[in-house]
A and B are shown apart, each in its own frame.
Chain A
């Protein structure tokens, strides 16, 4: 360990706020170090519902907030047009009796008006206007709904791959001069005379350690903040909330359906990328964020809620249950849902650590605006006058240009469905990726048939997207995340990454084990039906032959 390196800003945490702020600061010309103890989006950012929505609920209290949220959603769409996908939502009307009562009809009209008012802001994010559907129209568009519904209102929102969003922000920060280290933990806060002056860090994979000095330090470690804070004698009050989602093996429908759980909480069954997800729960969480698993209760709760409007969900194949912890602001005495996704930037000068700031709360959809706020505050604290914020203008890597998947498919001789998925994940960088196929045709071999991943993509990811462990591929290209659980793809992907990162056989097998273990934790609460048969094959191959 040599001399401590000096930066303007050290960011702790590689979720949406951490990577977003690192990008903003780097783009403004500050020197930045980002430290992430595992990989990008290992916390809430990677386990969220994956939506870039416009804060429709805030119209009840402050329309300005909704306007800003929709505007920011529009910015995200502008800087990463390839990564967002449209989700039309249906808000069905259920009547308790055969014929809807007057009160119920009034409520339906109120919903129609409310969502119709949101239409005023949709153009800010390229959203479609809402419509009111009669019962007959609703069933024509969504036959899988249970009978007895009186119609619906539709609502348009954007979905996004949260993990790739974080990765792209990090790559952009790097392109603007930031230093970004994954699998590197900030072990200790360094203080001098009531000021936070730096952190000591340790690379978990190589053992390398060092010290970084900074003018300002942002703690964006999310659910880990209280623990990290406690270890460093600063207080980060927070009410962590665990949220669970279930994933199905395919898209049940192109439309999201809003339904109610048994306790009246709002829930959804919605398409997300190439599958459908059911979500979500919100429970105070007192456990270890490194050790999250969905419980049988949570699975049953979500299924019951989904089934109330979409009975066929019971027969669908569940592939996994993923969990994350929200960093809700602390307030004693409120129920979980009453606490909103408000956010706060805490200044730790009260803890004798001036220069350290902790970000609490917020939502994925407003990450860019949140990051801008944080960056503004840090710039203010550092008392510098850097370039203005441009995170809303400059495209994220791959967002510069829209690519045509069929043209790419023809030019490089890959299946069109695969080209579409590559374009989804990489946007304009798909060209660079597919050129690997031209150089070595063997790389056209399919690795993951669920997500359309070729050997070329795995090689590209290992070379260009800060892959240090095999499990990182879960977040880069959803390897082994869907139904097959790695049966087709895990060994081949491990071989390809091992070749790029010079792993020996022992390390390859250890990495394979790490990936499969993560998968197992998400699959075990929902093992049933055909997924259980898949699991049997997975064990035969990986335990039986691989002893992995």
Chain B
């Protein structure tokens, strides 16, 4: 990235290039704004498991995932009603637009994401759990336990110890009683040579992208398919890029739908999603700058972003939480990019206010690791318009919006709403940012 270059004037500047920032940028673009986006490095989107989790029914029993009849939006409403610190609660009067936002995001990323249906898909994880997701990658759709009929063949890579197909399949056993498929472990002799035994998931994915590799895997699978197999489920290494269509090709060669299960870390599907996001941003005409942001004051003021000077009318802060670096704790909680106060957390600390930032970690965490943790839920407090607010509840700036995990109030890494919050707040913030730019254009000349 060359330093210098002409200063950029645009309507909307988005800080952060994950799902939240990208959705904001694309929504603003869709509304006709000139958009620049600056990002330093991948964040939690690139490390996600491959699913787009929006909301799952909080009143459903944990073990009875398939039995919940509530759709995605209804689940989000229930969360908004029961978790008062959650961004869905802040946006409770706008949840009727949640599905539109979901359709928008999956539409923009249609090269990798399959369209949502309104209900959650039930996807298996490497731990043998069933994870509800409102949308997922094309390569995972065929693994939806609510759709597979007959037998689900769970593929075991005989040459590699990283995944345990039996463990994954155990999740489907539970779901069987509720109408899901019956799982069967199918060992395949893929990657059965010495060096492959130690290969990392990314290398396995690369190997499967080689010409003919997917077809060969499919033929191998066809020979071992159990009778009545409705679909086959692979470990999450079906290609490095969505365009390689590895799952599709294996399926074609094997004669049944093929999918991959969700991924923990290292995550091939996560990086795939991030790459697709970057491609889409370029194609949509968003000016993408790589690098840090310096001298950030407020919207309207010039700021150095990725080596260029950018002046934008409205900003969307979508810098993520701890992994992305949008929120940090260095002795105390802070928001490094713009110095905004970190005021939101969940549960008993939802109203902690200014003192939240300085409390020691032991005070902000609970002994039971399964409980939502206030420290991990920390982030910015926002108003209904998604503007960050200060300790008095006033918006810091009229045209400064926040989206994604930088907004606090929920343990977003683990509560199954991370992606949903990202794309919903991103969509809303992007549209608001674009609208504020249009309003400016209608103002009297000379005004600002």
With a cutoff of 8 Å between Cβ atoms, the chain A residues found around residue B282 in the complex are none
With a cutoff of 8 Å between Cβ atoms, the chain A residues found around residue B264 in the complex are 491, 541, 545-546
* C-alpha spacing A540/B369, complex, angstroms: 12
With a cutoff of 8 Å between Cβ atoms, the chain A residues found around residue B197 in the complex are 441-442, 444-445
Q: Are A545 and B262 in contact (CB under 8 A)?
A: yes
Q: Are B360 and A540 in contact (CB under 8 A)?
A: no
Spell out B's residues near A (CB within 8 Å): 44, 47-49, 53, 62, 125-129, 131, 159-162, 164, 166-167, 170-171, 194, 197-198, 262, 264-265, 321-323, 325, 328-331, 360-363, 365, 367-370, 373, 375-376, 411, 413-416, 418
Q: Are B127 and A548 in contact (CB under 8 A)?
A: yes
* C-alpha spacing A240/B370, complex, angstroms: 31
A91 to chain B, nearest CB (A): 29
Q: Assuming A299-B360, A443-B161, A547-B62, what are 12 further A-B pairs, CB within 8 angstroms?
A: A444-B197, A505-B170, A521-B367, A525-B360, A539-B373, A540-B414, A541-B265, A542-B414, A543-B414, A544-B413, A545-B125, A546-B127
Q: Are B413 and A537 in contact (CB under 8 A)?
A: yes
- Is A509 an interface position by the 8 A CB rule? yes
* C-alpha spacing A107/B373, complex, angstroms: 50
Q: Are A526 and B361 in contact (CB under 8 A)?
A: yes
- Is A487 an interface position by the 8 A CB rule? yes
* C-alpha spacing A544/B376, complex, angstroms: 13
With a cutoff of 8 Å between Cβ atoms, the chain A residues found around residue B171 in the complex are 505
Q: Are A544 and B323 in contact (CB under 8 A)?
A: no
* C-alpha spacing A548/B360, complex, angstroms: 26
| Number of A positions contacting B (CB below 8 A) | 53
* C-alpha spacing A525/B414, complex, angstroms: 20
- Is A532 an interface position by the 8 A CB rule? yes
- If A445-B162, A532-B322, A545-B49 touch, whether A540 touches B44 (CB-CB below 8 Å) is yes
- If A524-B361, A545-B125, A545-B131 touch, whether A536 touches B370 (CB-CB below 8 Å) is no
Q: Are A545 and B129 in contact (CB under 8 A)?
A: yes
With a cutoff of 8 Å between Cβ atoms, the chain B residues found around residue A430 in the complex are none
* C-alpha spacing A509/B44, complex, angstroms: 24
Select B128's contact among A496, A509, A536, A537, beta carbons within 8 Å.
A509
Q: Are A536 and B322 in contact (CB under 8 A)?
A: yes
Q: Are A528 and B331 in contact (CB under 8 A)?
A: yes
With a cutoff of 8 Å between Cβ atoms, the chain A residues found around residue B125 in the complex are 545-546
- Is A527 an interface position by the 8 A CB rule? yes
With a cutoff of 8 Å between Cβ atoms, the chain A residues found around residue B370 in the complex are 513, 543
A304 to chain B, nearest CB (A): 13
A547 to chain B, nearest CB (A): 5
With a cutoff of 8 Å between Cβ atoms, the chain B residues found around residue A496 in the complex are 161
Q: Are A537 and B47 in contact (CB under 8 A)?
A: yes
- If A441-B194, A491-B126, A537-B265 touch, whether A527 touches B413 (CB-CB below 8 Å) is no
Q: Which residue on A lies nearest to B411, using beta carbons? A: A539
Q: Among residues 484 to 531 in chain A, which have CB atoms less than 8 Å away from a CB atom of chain B?
A: 487-488, 491-492, 495-496, 498, 504-506, 508-509, 512-513, 516-517, 520-521, 524-529
Bits for A205-246, please: 1 = Cβ < 8 Å to B, else 0. Answer: 000000000000000000000000000000000000000000
- Is A455 an interface position by the 8 A CB rule? yes
Select B360's contact among A296, A441, A545, beta carbons within 8 Å.
A296
Jot down 26 A-B pairs with beta carbons below 8 A, ordered by A.
A296-B362, A314-B331, A441-B194, A443-B161, A445-B162, A488-B265, A495-B161, A495-B167, A498-B164, A506-B170, A526-B361, A527-B375, A528-B329, A528-B361, A533-B323, A536-B322, A536-B413, A537-B44, A537-B323, A539-B376, A540-B413, A540-B414, A540-B418, A545-B49, A545-B126, A545-B129
A154 to chain B, nearest CB (A): 33
- Is A295 an interface position by the 8 A CB rule? yes
Select B321's contact among A293, A498, A536, beta carbons within 8 Å.
A536
Q: Among residues 330 to 363 in chain A, which have CB atoms less than 8 Å away from a CB atom of chain B?
A: none
Q: Are B131 and A524 in contact (CB under 8 A)?
A: no
With a cutoff of 8 Å between Cβ atoms, the chain A residues found around residue B159 in the complex are 442
Q: Are B369 and A520 in contact (CB under 8 A)?
A: yes
* C-alpha spacing A547/B56, complex, angstroms: 13
* C-alpha spacing A517/B62, complex, angstroms: 19
Q: Which residue on B lies nearest to A516, using beta carbons? A: B369
* C-alpha spacing A448/B160, complex, angstroms: 16
* C-alpha spacing A521/B370, complex, angstroms: 12
Q: Are A547 and B127 in contact (CB under 8 A)?
A: yes
- Is A112 an interface position by the 8 A CB rule? no
B167 to chain A, nearest CB (A): 5
